[in-house]
Copies of this chain bind each other. A is one copy, B any other.
Amino acid sequence: QSSVSLYGMADVWVGRVKTDITGVGSASETVLESGGFNTSRLGFKGSEDLGGGLKANFNLEGALAMDNGTAGGLSFNRQSWVGLSGGFGEIQLGKPWTPYDDTRSMANDTFNANFASSWTTWLGYEDNPNNTIRYNSPNFGGFSGAFAYSLGEDRASSPNNKASNLVSFSLNYANGPIVAGFAHQSQKVEGLNGIDSTGILTGLAATGKTTYNLLNGSYDFGVVKLVGGVNQAKVQPDGFADVKANEFNIGVDVPLGAGFDIGVGVARSKLESGGTDLSKTTGFSIGAKYALSKRTFTYAAFNRTKAEIIGTGAEVKNTLFGVGIQHNF
């Protein structure tokens, strides 16, 4: 009588990664890695009809490292939540994705693949915080919104006796060929177990705040889909100067027919502090997919990302090339 359903994704690629650092030299390696296109995963989910349109839902999803069998043990570190849904929308309690992350992934360059230029250039953020309450609105003629609040649960280690928290919300529109979204996320670190697993503040200060504002969208012309977005991130470490990131990405996904698709993307992130430019990171990515079925495709990927420290000439170049296969189950 078990109602749970298993699902997952197995994505493995073989390729070559290269890092160039000015004045230091370059290093390259041939690798077989998991999750070239999307992160491999194993999940369990289920839904129970409670009558009157109300449902009880849950989801447990863990990332898999297909190349080494998940060395650290299977952990439902991607999603783990339980909730209720009905005419009012949906409530999720646990560790869901943030609305900001959903909007970010909804219209991203190069098929939103893991090797997309925006993922290798833009500032990191917390995408699935622990201890989260999330609300998803119903769909109103294409419009939908979501709100999430995450509890830091670290008052004891906080200098000012407050707990860390994360707030994330989004307003999205999807109708026919148009997808557009606005999303905001704010990560406040007050104590030691702070909610900033991206470690953006770690190098600067123990506590502080990071905020993100994203506007993105896509338009599907049929012969080509245009995607793009702009993002502003602001890091405000306590006791240090603010750092601002101005970021954009743009891309085209082209269906060539017979199961072939090509996606290309360019992205940039510029960091400044007090009006002075600090660094500039530029990424270029191109990917090709060939569908073997609805659940299986092979792909080839290339990404080149260059990070420059302004005024010093110092550069770090990362190059990746790989071919892989993704199977969904």
| Interface of A toward B, CB cutoff 8 Å | 2-8, 10-14, 27-34, 42, 44, 46, 48, 50-51, 54, 56-58, 60, 62, 64-84, 93-95, 130-133, 151, 153, 155-156, 163, 292-293, 295-296, 324-327, 329
CB atoms of B151 and A31 under 8 A apart: yes
A95 to B11, CA, bound (A): 13
Known: A6-B6, A325-B84, A327-B48. A130 touches B94 (CB 8 A): no
CB atoms of B56 and A292 under 8 A apart: yes
Choose among B6, B29, B130, B325 the residue that contacts A44 (Cβ–Cβ < 8 A). Answer: B6
CB atoms of B4 and A82 under 8 A apart: no
Q: Please, which residues of chain B bring their CB within 8 A of the CB of A155?
A: 27-29
Q: Please, which residues of chain B bring their CB within 8 A of the CB of A131?
A: 31-33, 67-68
CB atoms of A292 and B54 under 8 A apart: yes
Highest count of chain B CB atoms <10 Å: which of A27, A70, A163, A326: A70
A33 to B94, CA, bound (A): 8
Q: Please, which residues of chain B bring their CB within 8 A of the CB of A94?
A: 10, 12, 32, 34, 66-67, 69
In the complex, the chain B residue whose C-beta lies closest to that of A155 is B29
CB atoms of A12 and B77 under 8 A apart: no
A151 to B44, CA, bound (A): 32
CB atoms of A74 and B58 under 8 A apart: no
